[in-house]
Copies of this chain bind each other. A is one copy, B any other.
Amino acid sequence: MLVVMKPSATPAEVEAVAEKIRSLGLTPHPIPGAQRVAIGVTGNKSGLEPEVFEILPGVAEAIRVSQPFKLVSREVKQEDTVIDVGGVPLGGSSIAVMAGPCSVESKEQILSAAVAVKAAGARFLRGGAYKPRTSPYEFQGLHEEGLKLLALAREATGLKVVTEVMDSDTLSMVAEYADVLQIGARNMQNFSLLKKLGALGKPILLKRGPSSTIKEWLMAAEYVVSNGNYQVALCERGIRTFETMTRNTLDLNAVPVLKALTHLPVVVDPSHGIGLRAHVAAMARAGIAAGADGLIVEVHPAPEKALSDGHQSLTFSEFDELMRQARVIAGAVGRTI
């Protein structure tokens, strides 16, 4: 159920609706809107009658929400969510480009990558300090030292920092350094972590689990949003299928489907999505053409020496060329970069 207030509704009227909701044993979720306030209602198992709310002062209408995901659905909020990352938009008409190495490896590496991706037009720097690795014997990241290097690169370039948080233990530390917290594919249904992210006032980039349905993914986002944090972007990074010639199968179908179902921004990760350096640019172009609101791309000063994901990382000049192509495609679909 969604209760939409009139543009003229007073704060007291909004609070009265919230109080009515609580009195029924349900939970009110005030939803940010440019024109007017709406209040999502969750917790109702049985059918709730719209009339219960429509008779209250200041209420425009009460709408039943048919999807299992509520607060993230377009039914509840029609206009696109645009996340303000310290002045840089994530969502909206401008396509957000995030680029940088898979892992932060050294000061020289991250600084040179930051300078190069900024020059090419990216406004976000990606780089992992905590790395989830299939094997316990592989490089696991530089941890806090990596976070400090990211902060240094931000100071040097003005880029916003996107970096992964793997667990609750390191959440406050990572949140201190990051502008956007990335939740990795393996953690998409780490519900304990998702709830904590809901209580945090930081933008979240929620990657799709490799075998998660679109519905499960939206429910994962709902965990964050229903706990109070609306600053969530979704990142398609490929699903697991039978095809072995590519690392994953980038599911670009998900882009238009998501844009119809949810108001949250949708980002595409062509690097993990195909896993082959030679073809990252083609899939980045395709992602924008499908309607994505952002790209996240692995770029490394020397991919052949990278401690992780070198086979799918672009060189600086390859990224520069990708950005040139991306701008043309963005223009063709009425977007800017």
Residues of A bordering B, CB below 8 Å = 42-43, 68, 70, 132-137, 166-170, 186-187, 189-193, 195, 209-211, 213-216, 219, 222-223, 226-227, 239-246, 249-257, 260, 273-274, 276, 278-279, 282-283, 285-291, 325, 328-329, 331-333
User: Beyond A289-B329, A290-B282, is A249–B253 a contact (Cβ under 8 Å)?
Assistant: yes
Across-interface contacts of A256 in B (CB, < 8 A): 274, 278-279, 282-283
CA gap between A6 and B191 in the complex, in Å: 48
Q: Number of copies of this chain in the oligomer?
A: 4
- Which of A190, A253, A291 has most B Cβ within 10 Å? A253
Across-interface contacts of A290 in B (CB, < 8 A): 282-283, 285-286, 289
Contact B278 A260, beta carbon cutoff 8 Å: yes
CA gap between A242 and B328 in the complex, in Å: 34
Contact B132 A189, beta carbon cutoff 8 Å: yes
Across-interface contacts of A255 in B (CB, < 8 A): 282, 286
Contact A249 B246, beta carbon cutoff 8 Å: no
- Which of A42, A135, A245, A331 has most B Cβ within 10 Å? A135
User: Beyond A166-B192, A290-B282, A329-B329, is A239–B250 a contact (Cβ under 8 Å)?
Assistant: no
Across-interface contacts of A289 in B (CB, < 8 A): 282, 285-286, 288-290, 329
User: Beyond A190-B186, A252-B250, A256-B279, is A211–B213 a contact (Cβ under 8 Å)?
Assistant: no
Contact of A333 among B211, B254, B285, B287 (CB under 8 A): B285
User: Beyond A42-B137, A132-B191, is A239–B245 a contact (Cβ under 8 Å)?
Assistant: no
CA gap between A55 and B263 in the complex, in Å: 58
Shortest C-beta distance, A331 to chain B (Å), equals: 7
Shortest C-beta distance, A65 to chain B (Å), equals: 11
Shortest C-beta distance, A287 to chain B (Å), equals: 7
CA gap between A7 and B250 in the complex, in Å: 43
CA gap between A279 and B290 in the complex, in Å: 9
Shortest C-beta distance, A336 to chain B (Å), equals: 14
